Amino acid sequence: MGEFDGRKALVTGGASGIGAAIAARLTAGGATVAVLDVNVDGLPEGLVGVRADVTDDASVRAAVASAVDQLGGLDLVINNAGIGAQGGVEDNDDAEWHRVLDVNVVGMVRVTRAALPALRQSDAAAIVNTSSIAATAGLPQRALYSASKGAVLSLTQAMAADLIDEHIRVNAVNPGTADTPWVGRLLDKAPDPAAERAALEARQPHGRLVAADEVAQAVCYLASPAAGSTTGTSIAVDGGMQGL
Ligand code: NAD
């Protein structure tokens, strides 16, 4: 018996990295899982792919409706799709601020809005949003990204307050630097990616990158009945970056 037997889950950004690890963990726990992503080609067998860009409300509504239809309902929404941004306040123009906030913050609102009618039919509904340690750690040269992920924490708390009477729990995870294709792409831009990786690992308090599956396990806890009294909060999976 898996802890998610019979449960239906939607994972945004589930085609890569942390989202793919979440989709795999939920599946291993017995859930049937739909992945909403701009890229749903080549998903592992058993996952339902629904293509959408979270910045496009019509495509989100169509994809969520298709997921609910194919899964036969919806219990869990994992709002994980997100993009990065480098630089301080002077380094990104208005268009870039709008672009990143549109994906990282409003994207979660669009998916949640589209999913809520189905979640209200569930007897164990939960939403988990992927924030970042950047929301709270005061990282240099991350103004836009940090602001977007700080907004995710505020949104998580506000949604939890609005939905508690309907027994829909809303929580977040705050990953530290995680070993995903995203970080791989950043490392590949360095003159010596292996040396850059070693330096990045050395900067983590626990001396290594966070595994995507470690984040996935925290997400699964927050999505599970074991977290039935947990809402409006977040779990850091960051090797100690925030706390030490
Ligand atoms: P990734 O790039 O490996 O995966 C992101 C996925 O989101 C991709 O499949 C991509 O196609 C999808 N996506 C991007 N924009 C989209 C859009 N507009 N509509 C639909 N899908 C879209 O990244 P990752 O490292 O797995 O990051 C996943 C989440 O974790 C992000 O929200 C990110 O901010 C957060 N995060 C990552 C790290 C890290 O170090 N990797 C740390 C903290 C937080």
Mean of the pLDDT values across residues 123-138?
97
Counting every residue, how long is the chain? 244
Q: Which of 215, 39, 229 is nearest to 132 (CA)?
A: 215
Report ipTM (2 d.p.). Answer: 0.99
- The mean of the pLDDT values for the chain is 97
Instruction: Tell me: pLDDT of 155 over 90.
Output: yes
SS3 45: coil
| Closest ligand 1 atom to 145 CA | 34
Query: Reduced to 3 DSSP states, what percent helix, strand and coil does the chain have, rounded to the nearest 5?
Result: 45, 15, 35
pLDDT digits (tens, 9 = 90+) for 36-50: 999 999 999 999 999
Hey, what domains does the chain have and what are their CATH numbers?
8-177+211-237 (3.40.50.720)
Residue 80 is given by DSSP the state -
Distance CA 23, CA 29 (A): 10
Contact 121, 68 (CB under 8 A): no
Cα–ligand 1 centroid distance for 37 (angstroms): 10
Q: How far is CA 236 from CA 36, 153, 172, 242, in A?
A: 24, 12, 9, 8
Is 221 catalytic? The answer is: no
Mean of the pLDDT values across residues 8-33?
98
pLDDT digits (tens, 9 = 90+) for 84-96: 999 999 999 999 9
Distance of CA 65 to the CA centre of its chain: 20
Q: How far is CA 39 from CA 17, 81, 167, in A?
A: 13, 11, 32
Residue 52 is given by DSSP the state -
Instruction: Tell me: pLDDT of 1 over 90.
Output: no
Mean of the pLDDT values across residues 195-211?
96
Instruction: Tell me: pLDDT of 244 over 90.
Output: no
Cα–ligand 1 centroid distance for 173 (angstroms): 13
Q: Given the structure tokens 């292996």, which residue do they identify? A: 194
Residue 109 is given by DSSP the state H
Q: Given the structure tokens 């995870």, which residue do they identify? A: 173
Q: Token pair of 165, please? A: 């009477």
The structure's pTM equals 0.98
Which residues' Cβ are closer than 6 Å to ligand 1? 13, 15-19, 37-39, 53-55, 80-83, 103, 107, 130, 132, 175, 177-178, 180-183
Neighbours of 122 (CB within 10 A): 16
